[in-house]
Amino acid sequence: MEYECPECNKVFCGWVMRYRYKNKCPVCGGELREIPSNKQTDNKKFRRGLIDKVLETRKNLKSGNL
């Protein structure tokens, strides 16, 4: 997970930010907020694409178009 500080606009990542720094920015002391990493959003898009393909294939099989 990635964390962004809205005060100094720096991005940090890793479990250390949550457990060691307790969601406080090590640079300015501001409150960090979680932002989704690209890996997670890409994975969700990939899964959504697969689900759509499976549903379309099932629909085609039922209607006899394959």
Task: Write down the pLDDT at residue 39.
Answer: 61
What pLDDT, on the 0 to 100 scale, is given for residue 66?
57
Cα three-residue angle 38-42-43, rounded to 5 degrees? 115
**Digit-coded pLDDT (tens) for 4-61:** 899 998 888 888 888 888 889 989 999 999 887 666 556 676 677 778 888 888 888 8
Q: pLDDT at position 31, please? A: 92
Please, are residues 51 and 19 in contact by the beta-carbon 8 Å criterion? Answer: no
